[in-house]
Structure formats: C-alpha cells, structure tokens
Structure 1
Amino acid sequence: MTTHAQEMSAPAKQVVKASLHPRARRQKSRIFWIRFLFVLPVMLYLVLFFGYPLYYSISVSLEKYDLSALFTGNAPFIGLQNYTDVLQDSVFQQSALHTLLFTVGSIVPQFVIGLALAVFFTKKFPLSSFLRSLMLLPWLLPIVVSGTIWTWLFDGTNGVIDQVLTALHILPAHFAWLTSPSWALFAIIITNIWIGIPFNMVLLYSGLTNISPEFYEASSMDGAGKWQQFFYVTLPLLRPVVAVVLMLGLIYTLKVFDLIYVMTKGGPANSTQIFATWSYNLSFSQQLFGNGAALGNMILIVALIVAVFYIRFNKSVD
C-alpha cells in the first residue's frame, strides 16, 4: 500500500506543479511590470534630460552648425573639424590656463578652510550649532545674488574692500579689481572660495563625527599628540570623504558659468575666460554652435575622467 501510494503521489505532484507553473509565471510577470513602472519615470527623466541633450550636443559638434544652419536647418557634416578649430583657437590656451588656475585656486583653499572649520566645530561650545548653520549661508544663496554682492564689494569706487584696503594703505584708492586683467580672475577666485567653503565644511564635518573616539583614545595611550592624531588617525580615516569632496568640488568648479558671467562675463580682454564661459560665448555671442558644443563635450570628457578616477579610488579603498 505504501509503495502504491508513493507511485500515485509522483504523478499527482506533477499535476500540482503544472497547475502552479502558469500562476507562478503570471506572478513573476506582474512583479516585473510593477518594478518597471516604478523605474520608468527615472528612465524617462534620464533619457529626456541627459540622453537626448548629450546626443544632440554630439551631433551638433560634428556639423557646421552656425546661425545660417539654425534658420535653414541645413548643417553639413564636418567630422571633428569643430574640435580642431577649438583646439587651434588662440583663446583655447588662455581659457585652459584660466580654468586650471580657477579650479586649483578655488578647490585647495576651499578644502583647507573647510577642513579647519569642520575640526573647529567638532568641539562643543555655546552657539556652535547656530554658527555652523550660519556658515551655510554662502552656499545657500543663489549664485547670481552672491556674484552681485561681491561685484559691489570689489567695486573700485564705492566697494567695501577697496575702502578698507585703501584706509590701511595696502592698495591705492579706486583699485580696479574686476576691470583689471591682472586682478579680475583673482577676485572671482576669492568669491568662489567663499561660496564653496560651507559645502566642504559640511561633508568633512560629517566625516569627522563618524570617526570613533576609540581611535583617538588608543593613539593617546600610545603617546600621540594632537598633530600626530590629526595626520596619522584623522586624515587616513577621512580619506574616502576627502575623495568625495575633492571630486565634487572639481566637477562643480569645471562647470562654473553663472558666477563669472555675472561678475565679468569673461572679461576684461578674456582675462577671466574659462572653458564654461567660452563655450557660452562661442554658441550665443559668435553663433558658432558647433564649436560651442565641441568645447562643452570636451568639458564633459574631463568630468567623466575625474569620475572614473574617483570610482577606481573607491574600489581601491574598499
């Protein structure tokens, strides 16, 4: 009887399995479509606001797309000629140098001052939370507002900076900050440092507060001083956060446009022209849309290279 029951149970199991199989497939299909519907808005967003603009930018950069092509719709394919024209333009070397100076001159002070403030605010004292929140103001202000404020501060006639430095006999009266080819870029770098310090401070402060006090206690027992703890405990443990801060700062600085456009528009005499502002001028001032798109794509390539290095760095840390 037992053997017969076992023999009968095998076909029965197959029947039950066959009856459940379509139901299981329908259930899996339903789960798939539910997940797809949740992902669909993000996919549409990426395609519409990233995929298509990137495709269009690459397409325009490979065509002779100027003002006449904009109206006629006839833009002949010229391959990499726009990229060659950009690289051979006399403004390219100027813009490359200014972009490098602006990027390094902004990122390094932002990071150093941001780290110093982050370490300072890890010490609890009255009004520390209020002051830390107040420090966020430069980052929260719209760039146009910040640029307008600092344009007034650097004004050679009524600017506060000019009046203070003149009173201290550091600079002559009516010093032309933003109209001097020698000093305009320096003034914009100072402004950008002021804007970026809070961002660096917040991320680094978050990283510092996540370091366990046990590391400092153990190093103190080994006789390490404050500076030794900072260089041999804090900085190594803060390394992943530092990488994020520097990468995001580099990408942000490479694409800065509005600040320079508000303060100098790339002048005087291209002395504050960086890749972002030059790309705008090529496209909308000179109507060389193909050249502007080519330069924009070159900026994107640099940002992608930075992102790849960051990803590889993260893998090596892990």
Structure 2
Amino acid sequence: MTSSSVDRTLRAPGRFSKARRGSEPYAFILPTALLITVLMIVPIVMVIGYSFSDNVITNKHPELVWLANYAEVLGDPVFHTAVINTVVFTVGSVAAHLVLGLAFAMMLNTQLLSRFTKALFRTVYILPWLFTAAVIAVLWRLLLSPNGVVNYLLDSTGIASGQVEWLSNPDLALGSVTFINIWAGYPFFMISLLAGLQGIPHDLYEAATVDGANGIQKFFSVTIPQLRPIIISMLLLDLIWTSQQFALIWMTTGGGPINVTEMLSTYTYKLAFSRYEFALASTSAVLVLALSMVLAVFYVRHQRARD
C-alpha cells in the first residue's frame, strides 16, 4: 500500500465524522419541520388552491375560477359587516385589556397594600384566565339572560328595569360580547405588566424624585418607557389573537342577532359548514390569513429591533 492510499484511508474517517457533525442539527429539526409541513404548510397551500376554484369538496371536478371567489367575498355586504365588527371588537378589547391590565398590575405592585391583600387580589384577578372559552360563554350567558343575575342587580339598584336582552338586542349584543372578551383577556396583560413593573430599577424612581418629579411625571417618564417593549409586544399579540376569536362569539351569540356580532371567524365558519361553500370559505380564510400576516410581520420586526 502506497503512502498516498494510507493517507486517504486515515483522512476518510475524519471527513465522515465532520459530515456527520454537520448534519446533526438538521436531524434534530427534521421531526419539527415535518410536523410543520404536514400540519401547517400543506393545509395553507391547499386552502389557497381552493380559493381559486369553484366549490371544492362538494364538486367532484372543480374548475379554476381565479379571482372570482375573491370578488364575490369582497363584494358581500355581510363580509363588510364582519370586517367592521371585527375591528370594533378587536380594538375595543385590546385597548381595555391594556388599560385594565396596567391598572391592576400597578395596584398589585404598590407598597401600600400588605402581602396578604395583594395575594388575595392576585388570585381574584387571575380567575378569568383560568376558564376555557366554553365555560366563559356558558357563565356569561347565564349571567346576562333576561332572568339572570345582572338584570336582577340592575333592577334591585334601580339602574335599569325589566328583562334586558343583553345578547339578543341588536343595540347591545356587540358591546356585551366585547365586555365578555375584555373580562376574559385582561389577566394576560396584568401578569405580563406586573412582571415588567417588578423589573424596573428603583434607582430610576429615586432619581426622578430628586429631580422633583411627581407621581404622574414618574409614570410617563419612567414607568411607560420601561414597559414600552412589553406593551408593544403584547398589543401586537393580542391584536392577532382577538381578531381570530371564534369560540366565545359562536357560543354566546353565533354571530347574531341579524349579523351585529358577525366576525370574520364566524363568517368563514358559516360559509363552510352552514352554506357548504367551501371555496368561498377558503377565500375568506385566505383574507384573514393575509390580515394576520401583516400583524405578524410587525411583531417579528419589533422583536428583532428589541433583540
């Protein structure tokens, strides 16, 4: 055996070991990549394909109609109503989540309350976050029924009389479901902002005190700037989650009465499973996906800038 062949034999295991080490990271992410492909990428591609065809699934031989489905959905007055309701529901819920979450977080972070009192309030305030959407929907349907506790309390205190139809009155239904969603979602903001408040150095407040700042000036000059990264992240996430809310709306009002609580999620569901227009439902789902992707892009850009 020549010296060159010996050298190649000695170097071969080294090259094999180096190649194996280089492929190990890909082997670790392969199962996750397969799951994402099968459970996310493939369904999304299929739905996008359905949106360019006539009624799929119920039609054995669907044909391409290109943008006809998009024109039909975008021209549907119910779709316009769903967009407006979704914007009102989402913006109102997210704004209230932030205000209530920040207020309760600051109360739980104050030094004026004892540990026992803060622990008690923390337990009470976190309760809505422990319930599932089904439990929340059933609970509030009972509370807001014409013979429910809310009407009884309002009648007893003289604020309102009679049996108010909170979830069946077209003038009250959207506000009622928005209130329910606010009640169910503010603990997420409260816990996150409380953690942020506890991470703010006390030296900043002491320096502001030395400079003669009062409580309001400290809040806007120290607290808010320190919490800004957390607030922006939570606002973007809550916008994405709330705009896709389905279970709570479906189990309280079902999008009614007369579409006053119709959301993009319930509109898409009805197209698919009430009217069996799966191509139109796919089109609506693609539009919702596009809106969600816009918010997701802002969130990712914010996270990169934060890092």
| TM-score interval, smaller chain | over 0.9
Partner of 1:9: none
Which of 71, 76, 92 is residue 105 of structure 1 equivalent to? 92
- Measured in 2, the distance between the counterparts of 1:307 and 1:94 equals 24
Q: Give runs of aligned pairs for residues 174-189 of structure 1, distance below 5 A.
A: 174-189=163-178
Q: Which amino acid aligns with 2:174?
A: L
- Measured in 2, the distance between the counterparts of 1:39 and 1:53 equals 20
Q: Which amino acid aligns with 1:290?
A: A
- Measured in 1, the distance between the counterparts of 2:109 and 2:10 equals 60
Q: Give runs of aligned pairs for residues 233-252 of structure 1, distance below 5 A.
A: 233-252=222-241
Bigger Rg, which one = 1
Q: Which amino acid aligns with 1:107?
A: V
Partner of 2:39: 49
Do structure 1's residue 149 and structure 2's residue 136 form an aligned pair?
no
CA displacement at 1:30 relative to structure 2: 1.9
Q: Give runs of aligned pairs for residues 199-278 of structure 1, distance below 5 A.
A: 199-278=188-267
Percent identity of equivalent pairs? 34
- The one-character-per-residue Cα deviations of 1:154-180 (angstroms, maximum 9, x if unpaired) are 101x21111111222222311111111
CA displacement at 1:313 relative to structure 2: 3.3
Do structure 1's residue 59 and structure 2's residue 59 form an aligned pair?
no
Do structure 1's residue 298 and structure 2's residue 280 form an aligned pair?
no
Contact kept, 8 Å, 2:233 with 2:302, in 1: the verdict is: no
CA displacement at 1:32 relative to structure 2: 3.2
CA displacement at 1:36 relative to structure 2: 2.2
CA displacement at 1:91 relative to structure 2: 0.6
Q: Give runs of aligned pairs for residues 270-289 of structure 1, distance below 5 A.
A: 270-289=259-278
Do structure 1's residue 172 and structure 2's residue 193 form an aligned pair?
no
- Measured in 2, the distance between the counterparts of 1:140 and 1:75 equals 45
CA RMSD of superposed structures (Å): 2.0
- Measured in 2, the distance between the counterparts of 1:186 and 1:274 equals 13
Do structure 1's residue 89 and structure 2's residue 76 form an aligned pair?
yes
Q: Which shows bigger deviation, 75-84 or 126-135?
A: 126-135
- Measured in 1, the distance between the counterparts of 2:22 and 2:68 equals 46
Question: What is the TM-score of this pair, normalised by structure 2?
Answer: 0.92
Do structure 1's residue 313 and structure 2's residue 302 form an aligned pair?
yes
CA displacement at 1:28 relative to structure 2: 2.2
CA displacement at 1:72 relative to structure 2: 4.5
Q: Which amino acid aligns with 2:232?
A: A
- Measured in 2, the distance between the counterparts of 1:53 and 1:16 equals 53
Question: What is the TM-score of this pair, normalised by structure 1?
Answer: 0.89
CA displacement at 1:17 relative to structure 2: 7.8
The alignment partner of 1:62 has SS state of coil
- Measured in 2, the distance between the counterparts of 1:53 and 1:243 equals 30
Which of 68, 71, 79 is residue 66 of structure 2 equivalent to? 79
The alignment partner of 2:168 has SS state of coil
CA displacement at 1:209 relative to structure 2: 1.5
Report the count of equivalent residues: 302
- The one-character-per-residue Cα deviations of 1:198-219 (angstroms, maximum 9, x if unpaired) are 0111111121122122211211
Q: Give runs of aligned pairs for residues 113-152 of structure 1, distance below 5 A.
A: 113-124=100-111, 125-127=114-116, 128-152=118-142
Change in Cα spacing, 1:43 to 1:173, as seen in structure 2 (3 Å) is same
Q: Which amino acid aligns with 1:177?
A: W
- Measured in 1, the distance between the counterparts of 2:219 and 2:268 equals 42
- Measured in 1, the distance between the counterparts of 2:42 and 2:119 equals 44
Q: Which shows bigger deviation, 229-238 or 209-218?
A: 209-218
Q: Which 5+ residue runs of structure 1 have no aligned equivalent?
A: 1-11
- Measured in 1, the distance between the counterparts of 2:218 and 2:7 equals 65
Change in Cα spacing, 1:241 to 1:16, as seen in structure 2 (3 Å) is farther
The alignment partner of 1:174 has SS state of coil
